[in-house]
Amino acid sequence: MDPDVDDLYLYAQLVAESADEAVALVHAALREQERGHHADAGELITRIWHHHHASGRSMPEGAWLAACEVPASLDSILPRLMARVPPSRRLAIARAFRGADTSESSEKELFLRAIQRALDAEKKTHIGRQITMEALEASMNRYLSSHLAPVPDTLRQAVRQVSEPSKKGRKDRLPLPARIAAGVLVILLSAAIGSWITSEPGPSSTPRSELFDGLAGLTVQEAEFRSSDPEQVERYVADRLDQRLRIPRLEEGALEGVSTVELRSSLKLPVVHYEDRTGGDRVSVFVMDYRFLERARNAFMIDERILNQIAEESAIDIRNAPDYYRVAWRYRDDIYVAITSTVDSSLRERFLFD
């Protein structure tokens, strides 16, 4: 290739918004040379580019150059971001990008926004804006194939051995008398377990209160961190509690902020505050995940009926007590418990996740 063309194309790439524009800039510069303008390549490209983007119009930011940095930036930041999120989120993200969970397409968009926020923090907003979902999917595939180890040979051999039909056939089976004795033992154990389940529980040495009912008495009226921006509230909770959650918006309501409540030592929960504009009431929403529930079991009684009721994301659990109204539901790995003093049968439907 002609050296002039090499230089012209080099400079064109530094300012063009696309490959097509870079080629157009080179052609324009060559026409200038034919007319007798023999400035160096950099000056020619600069002049043509400024003329093309006349004064008074917003100047482009070099989107093509930023887009060229996208793969390297993604490959750098994606492993760090995956290491920071909880294990349950890692599984959800990987399933979404591998196509194993088509119902969670929003998981990709959520992770893309997290990548863009991380690049914003590194002063790379111009790169974050150029990330396409296809580029993120390609980077995730590279991450899963290069950062995670393949199946060890010993494990693969062990699986093959288990899957192969036994060569001994029926010779490995227990004799008939032993099988009869084992069946009798199973029956006796089942009877013992049944009598234990139906027997009256003994007094507990450490009385525990019920977790979900106890939340109503912990409602904090004023937010310790006031903000109407869900992303700011999410970052505040992540910094204070190392808990990543989604903040929904309340239809016909307004986000006011968030507080942190301590149930017992080392057991802290975020409570999100909303103003309900349908009746001027306040709504407090406690957010917990299943890791928190496991830690809380030693200090609180947990109503398994509620957990079973909200096992499906579309299901809710409602408690209409004399002094409060409670609605519980699950969204992804988080459990949301909304408490208000006004009965509202449509309260759950008014909480929307963008």
Per-residue pLDDT tens listing for the chain (354 residues): 455 788 888 877 777 777 777 888 888 888 888 887 777 787 887 887 777 765 444 445 556 666 777 888 888 888 888 887 777 777 888 888 877 555 455 778 888 888 888 888 888 887 888 788 888 888 888 888 877 777 777 777 778 777 665 545 545 556 655 665 566 555 555 555 554 444 444 443 445 678 988 888 876 778 899 999 999 999 999 988 888 899 999 999 999 999 999 888 788 999 999 999 887 788 999 999 888 888 888 888 888 889 888 988 888 999 988 888 999 999 988 999 999 988 888 899 999 998
Q: Are residues 243 and 338 located together in one domain of the fold? A: yes
Q: Which of 127, 146, 165 is the last residue of a domain?
A: 146
Q: Which of 146, 181, 200 is the last residue of a domain?
A: 146
Distances (CA, A) of 267 to 26, 297, 299, 351: 64, 11, 9, 26
Residue 260: inside a domain, yes or no? yes
Q: Are residues 133 and 105 located together in one domain of the fold? A: yes
Q: Are residues 55 and 99 located together in one domain of the fold? A: no
Q: Are residues 136 and 244 located together in one domain of the fold? A: no
Which residue's entry shows tokens 């699986």? 159
Whether 329 and 315 have beta carbons less than 8 Å apart is answered as yes
Dihedral pair phi/psi, residue 164, rounded to 5°: -75, 140
Residue 135: inside a domain, yes or no? yes
Residue 189: inside a domain, yes or no? no
Please provide the size of the chain in residues. 354
Residue 246: inside a domain, yes or no? yes
Q: Are residues 219 and 301 located together in one domain of the fold? A: yes
Q: Are residues 233 and 102 located together in one domain of the fold? A: no
- The span from the CA of 303 to the CA of 229, in Å, is 33
- The span from the CA of 337 to the CA of 348, in Å, is 10
Q: Are residues 224 and 257 located together in one domain of the fold? A: yes
State the alpha helices, DSSP H only, in 53-97.
63-68, 70-84, 87-97
- The span from the CA of 131 to the CA of 138, in Å, is 11
Q: Are residues 343 and 240 located together in one domain of the fold? A: yes
Nearest of 234, 277, 294 to residue 258 by alpha carbon: 234
Residue 197: inside a domain, yes or no? no
Q: Are residues 103 and 48 located together in one domain of the fold? A: no
Residue 29: inside a domain, yes or no? yes
Q: Are residues 91 and 37 located together in one domain of the fold? A: no
Q: Domain tally for the chain?
A: 3
Check residue 250 and give its pLDDT.
94
Residue 183: inside a domain, yes or no? no
Phi-psi region of 21 (alpha: psi -120 to 50; beta: other; left: phi over 0): alpha
How many CB atoms sit inside 10 A of residue 95's CB? Answer: 15
The terminus-to-terminus CA distance of the chain in angstroms comes to 51
Check residue 275 and give its pLDDT.
92
Q: Are residues 241 and 325 located together in one domain of the fold? A: yes
Q: Are residues 308 and 237 located together in one domain of the fold? A: yes
Q: 216 lies in which domain range?
A: 209-352
Phi-psi region of 171 (alpha: psi -120 to 50; beta: other; left: phi over 0): alpha
**3 state DSSP class of 211:** helix
Per the confidence metrics, is the pTM higher than 0.75? no
